[in-house]
Amino acid sequence: MSGGYAPVPKPGLTALLRAYLGVTALAPGLLTRLARKGHAAQGAAPERLAERVGHASAARPEGALVWFHAASVGEVASSLDLARDLERATGARLLFTTTTATGAETLARRLPQAIHQFQPVDTPASVGAFLDHWRPDLACLMENDLWPRLMIETDRRAIPIAVINARASRSRTRAPRAIGALLSRAALISTQDAATAAQMRGLGLDQARIMDTGDLKAAASPLPADPAALEALRQAIGMRPVWAAASTHPGDEGAVIAAHRAALREHPDLLLILIPRHPARGAELVQRLGQAGFVIARRSAGAVPEAATQIYLADTLGEMGLFYRLTPLVFLGGSFGTEGGHNPYEPAMLGAAVLHGPGIANFRQAYAGLAQSGVALRVLDGADLGRQVSRLTASPQLAE
């Protein structure tokens, strides 16, 4: 696929990039130690740690190979349709790298034919070993997870780079020359919105290479659900009102608990489906919810909600499409803490109205569009969340 490709003209490296490359070459252990700690904290398979230093755990397939780097779950989800289209159009095999174990698990469920490796740390030995082994014909780097050495070495080997679904970034305003020099290695940059495209043009990049395609997350296929599991849960829940708190982090869950307690006073049979962003936190949440006095059923234990269940803890992976189909109202987590919010298109696409906190920097444009359409509503804190859940539950406004 890359035959005849000539690297695009580019400026020299800035002092900041040279300093970064020098430090990570002289002290590679800094990045390696961080990767080792992250790998263990994610509960990833210990035998796969070597992938993070560039040692492949699979053979390179024959023929053309398209490489996608998608840091975690959200980037994997937004890349799937594009990856399938490229696979069909070119006959190439697909290689995915992710930073997180949850990204790897999402890929394994939704695109099982793809090869997965953990992203190599950005050191000379790791990047060199990764590129020497895999020799991709095209590199598609999703959104903003761009590592300097990985990009520079990929370009140096005349492998075309596409930066896909880029969103606005503070680093482009803080270090425009360095980021511009890095992004000049990309033959194509697609952006989520016009503001990001303008930001890219402001870096002095070739305008012909910048495309404002809109957010791929908005065009992604709806999340799948197992029909039998969906029917079983619908039967278990029956006619009870239900809401969900999805992709929650510790910074969200105090507000969610307070909101559900308040909403239960007005709707005593209300069921909350609580879906933590990291299902491994299930045991921690069981203890916290039990201490708070709630009656809980736990999905990972095979339970379904009973009449007395107040909170259904959905601590499993790959079933978000199932839970979004069960509820007309979803609070999306990562928005009361510092995470920057999560993808609101996924619940909206399946017919749910979306509540969110103030911290939505990563999806500001998406939420603005949904709010204008009457699909999304901002809440300030746990008390406000409780008021909105109480007000909207079983209301004509929610149905509308």
Catalytic residue, candidates 51, 62, 75, 306? 75
Place of tokens 């002289």: 26
- The rounded distance, in Å, linking the Cα atoms of 345 and 233 is 23
Sign of CA dihedral 340, 346, 349, 350: negative
Q: What spatial distance separates the first Cα and last Cα of the chain, rounded to whole Å?
A: 49
Please give the backbone phi and psi of residue 293, each rounded to the nearest 5 degrees, phi first: 90, 10
Place of tokens 């300093």: 19
For 96-116, b/e burial (b = at least 16 CB within 10 A) is: bbbbbbbbbbbbeebbeebbb
The residues facing 296 across adjacent strands are: 311
- The rounded distance, in Å, linking the Cα atoms of 53 and 50 is 5
Sign of CA dihedral 39, 42, 48, 54: negative
Where do runs of H (alpha helix) occur along 97-226?
Answer: 101-110, 124-134, 148-156, 171-174, 176-183, 194-201, 216-219
Separate counts of helices (H) and strands (E) for the chain: 18, 14
Collapse the DSSP code of 286 into the 3-class scheme (helix H, G, I; strand E, B; otherwise coil) and give the result. Answer: helix
> Is residue 75 flagged as an active site residue?
yes
Kindly report the CA angle at 20 between 14 and 25, in degrees rounded to 5?
A: 125
User: Catalytic residues, which ones?
Assistant: 75
